[in-house]
Amino acid sequence: MNHPRYCPKCGTLVVRYSNPLPTADVVIYDPQCGIVLVKRRNPPFGYALPGGFIEEGETAEHAAVREMKEETNLDVELLGILGVYSHPMRDMRCHVLTTVFVGRAARLDALSAGDDAAGAAFHAINEIPAELCFDHAKVISHFKQWLLGMRPLAPCCEDPAVEYGDIPYVRPF
């Protein structure tokens, strides 16, 4: 049930919007090892590209690097943006808008599953498990197009090494 919200200073009714939730995912690929996928520990179960929700005060780039470390233990350098995926039904939990990055891992041998992943492993690019979550089959198809030179990457706009959490901003509610 929606309860009306009012500005604590002036009493004006505040309109509440139901917007998509932003996430960031990363494609890590090595020609000898394959593509990194995580086995999800939480619903929806199956395999997915590493990624997760962007936290308030965080850029998509920083979230991508953080999520890679949390889910796979890999330190990554982002090479560019593969695409933005926003279909309202791409995630059964809620409307999610994701920015998918292509990255390069510093050390492939560091790959291991983090706390919120049941597993993390390389998969041959032509032997991807059928149990892919979300629209990641489409994302991997777009990645293959990029590998063949048929799709460009957009540049990353923010430096993921920069922390924005200390920048003051005012939220009235």
Which H or E run includes 97?
strand 96-105
The pLDDT assigned to 116 comes to 83
List the CATH number of the domain containing 105.
3.90.79.10
Q: Cα–Cα distance between 152 and 89 in angstroms, integer?
A: 25
Residue 51 is assigned to a structural domain of this protein: yes
Q: Judge whether 53 and 63 are in contact, CB under 8 Å.
A: yes
The pLDDT assigned to 16 comes to 80
Total domains in the fold of the chain: 1
The pLDDT assigned to 157 comes to 84
Domain housing 62: 19-147
pLDDT at 168 over 90: no
Q: Cα–Cα distance between 56 and 75 in angstroms, integer?
A: 22
Residue 170 is assigned to a structural domain of this protein: no
Residue 56 is assigned to a structural domain of this protein: yes
Residue 124 is assigned to a structural domain of this protein: yes
SS3 state at 66: helix
pLDDT at 105 over 60: yes
Q: Return the residue matching tokens 């890679």.
A: 68
Query: What percent of the chain lies above the pLDDT cut of 90?
Result: 75
